[in-house]
Chain A
Amino acid sequence: MEIIQEVKKAKQGDKSSFAKLIYHFEKDMYIVAKSILQDENDCADAVSETVLKAYESISQLKHPKYFKTWLMKILVNNCYQIKRLQKRVITVDDFPDIPVPQEEYNNTELYQVLNKLEDDLKVIVVMYYLQDMSVKEISKILDIPAGTVKSRLSRARKRMREILSLEGGNVSYEPKI
């Protein structure tokens, strides 16, 4: 799919092109939402809001090549809004030493590593490593300076090394659960 062409058509009101774009980035949106919200229903709420908001404001997107960055920014804002409304609820991930059964799709040791990271590091790790976004793109999406993105990446690397217990350049780790 030629993304930029579809974005241009969507900007002109082509709902079919808009839908194609949304489905194309469906998995990316899920990964990012999940890194912030954890709860499946909250992720679904966030993406639903995001799709609507994106549809209503796509005509204002100036550069079609930044569609993904723009879409992720809307999603992240919606996720944090939901999180703010629930700020009095403590998630299970805040207590990493209590083992909790993970959902099947999430049942990888590396996601257990991700779940041990602080929230502000988790979403950056997901965007940088899983979605191959640049520091500049992440900075735009999260609305934080590029320097902050870099320093959080640096903290995340340090933390992941501790968790994974890297040795001699080969990646090996001992799961703590």
Chain B
Amino acid sequence: MYPMNRKFDRQIRDLLQKSNIEVPENFHKRIENTLNMIKERKGDNKVPKNTTSKKITLGALLKVASLLIVAILTIGIIDPAIGKNIPIINSVFEYLSNRGIEKTEYQKYTVGIGASQISKGVEVTLNEAAFDGSRLVVGYIIKDNHLPKKIEKDKIFVDSSAETAINNENLSAGSNTVSGILTNDNTFIASAKYELVRGYLDKIPSSIDVKINIREITFYEGTNRHTIKGNWNFNFTIPASKTKVDLKILKPKIVINDKLGEIKFNKIILSPFSTSIEIEAPQDPVVGWYEYTDEYQYMQPSLWTVTDDKGNILKWEAEYNLFDINGKVEKDKAYPRLIKFSPVSPDTAYINIKSSKFEVKLPVK
């Protein structure tokens, strides 16, 4: 016989409440940062009904890169001391980190740029950049006098479609992840991430030439989309002495065999900002590119559960095709792709990947 519900409830309540649950430091820190941000808002002692200062959260925007080769014009280092319209904010990364928006520590890899462009009445300042050999992160300050009028209660997402390249190696066409804050004076402060689609730089040159051409900036208010088309072109050079490329590259040579085709895990690139895994796998021939019927679902990396050796989940961030999409999907053909996940700690021993059909451990030590 089972105990009565009340007795069971009492017992469960006692047992659960005895569990020692402690609030993790990062959770507490986020609350603290958010409350600090609220504290700094103008209009103390008054709860604003229509606030003009909003935290903007992320919309992860995947732009699958086709192979665009962009010609690079190297102009040279833009000296921050003579850059136009030097923003009052010294470091976008620090500003966002203090407000709990940006989580990764970029300080070791950051170079000040301080270059501004104005197009269609919108001023974009490239404040600073950080490059770890695989991912370029850029701090932007965007001023637009029309911004507040577009703000309602909902979140706003910013998307910049950009032609970008590092040393002739194409970066992702479009900002992969943009996160930022809209301040009271019509200014949007954000960081954008660009992935080196080929994975990483083969070797560290004496300098790194970066080209970012922004063609449009898009703001979303709920489902309403506002796009400003313009030309905001940035070319700058980062001397190797001013940045640090810190990569670990492994070739696991692991193959999963299945009747639908093989999945080959060819390369793992560990960098401070991300984890990249290069695979070759079939695409679904029934529905075409990027779509998967139930049978092929396990080949879809965004559906994989990826963890490190301590059980921490690695978040899927982006995916890039390393081939030309030309014609129909060929059955049984292996198509190379690069998948980006959140970074792992340096002492990680392996990455575990689990799908609906297979589980594999990729050693990274």
One of A38, A48, A59 near B55 (C-beta < 8 A): A48
B22-37 Cβ-contact flags toward A at 8 Å (1 or 0): 1110111111011101
In the assembled complex, the CB of A31 is this many whole angstroms from the nearest CB of chain B, namely: 6
Q: Does A14 contact B (CB under 8 A)?
A: yes
How many of B's residues come within 8 Å of A, CB to CB? 57
Determine the chain B residues whose CB is within 8 A of the CB of A171 once the complex forms.
11-12, 15
Assess the A13–B55 pair: CB atoms within 8 A: no
A106 to B24 Cα, complex, angstroms: 11
A interface residues, tally (CB under 8 Å): 58
In the complex formed, the residue of B with least CB distance to A55 is B38
Chain-B contact segment, one of A62-70, A85-93, A141-149 = A85-93
Within 8 A of B (CB), among A133-176: 157, 160-161, 166, 169, 171
**Interface of chain B: mostly helix, strand, loop or mixed:** mixed
Shortest A130–chain B CB gap in Å is 5
Inter-chain contact A110/B19, CB cutoff 8 Å: yes
Residue interface bits A77-105, CB-to-B below 8 A is 1, else 0: 00000000100111110110010111101
Q: Is the CB of A51 within 8 A of B313?
A: no
Tell me, yes or no, whether A118 is within 8 Å of chain B by CB.
no
Known A-B contacts A39-B315, A48-B34, A49-B57; the reply to A90 vs B305 at CB < 8 A is: yes
Report how far A121 CA is from B127 CA in the complex, Å: 47
Residue of B nearest to A161 (CB): B2
Residues of chain B within 8 A (CB-CB) of A10 are 47
Q: Is B327 an interface residue (CB 8 A)?
A: no
Question: Closest A-chain residue to B59, C-beta based?
Answer: A85
Give the contacting residue for A130; candidates B17, B24, B31; CB below 8 A: B17
> Interface of chain A, helix or strand or loop or mixed?
helix
If A130-B17, A171-B15 touch, does A15 touch B24 (CB 8 Å cutoff)?
Answer: no
Query: Measured between C-beta atoms, what is the minimum distance from A154 to chain B in Å?
Result: 8
A132 to chain B, nearest CB (A): 8
The reply to whether B302 and A110 form a contact with Cβ atoms under 8 Å apart is: no
Query: Is the C-beta of B51 less than 8 angstroms from some C-beta in chain A?
Result: yes
Alpha-carbon distance between A47 and B34 when the two chains are bound, in angstroms: 9
B253 interface contact, C-beta 8 A: no
Closest-CB distance, B121 to chain A (whole angstroms):
29
Contacts of B20 in A (CB 8 A): 105, 108
Whether a CB of chain A sits under 8 angstroms from the CB of B203 is no
Using a CB-CB cutoff of 8 Å, which residues 40-78 of chain B contact chain A? 44-49, 51, 55, 57, 60
- Closest residue of chain B to A90 (Cβ to Cβ) is B305
Q: How far is the CB of A149 from chain B (nearest CB, A)?
A: 14
Complex Cα gap A18–B20 (Å): 27
Asked whether, in the complex, the Cβ of B311 is within 8 Å of the Cβ of A103, the reply is yes
| 29 A-B contact pairs sorted by A residue (CB < 8 Å) | A12-B47, A15-B39, A18-B35, A22-B35, A27-B21, A30-B23, A30-B24, A41-B26, A44-B29, A44-B100, A56-B51, A58-B47, A59-B47, A88-B303, A89-B315, A90-B303, A91-B305, A92-B305, A92-B311, A94-B305, A95-B354, A100-B307, A105-B20, A108-B20, A129-B12, A157-B8, A157-B9, A161-B2, A166-B2
Known: A15-B45, A130-B13. 16 other contacts (CB 8 A): A19-B35, A30-B27, A39-B313, A39-B315, A40-B24, A40-B26, A40-B27, A44-B30, A48-B34, A51-B35, A88-B303, A92-B311, A92-B354, A101-B310, A105-B21, A129-B9
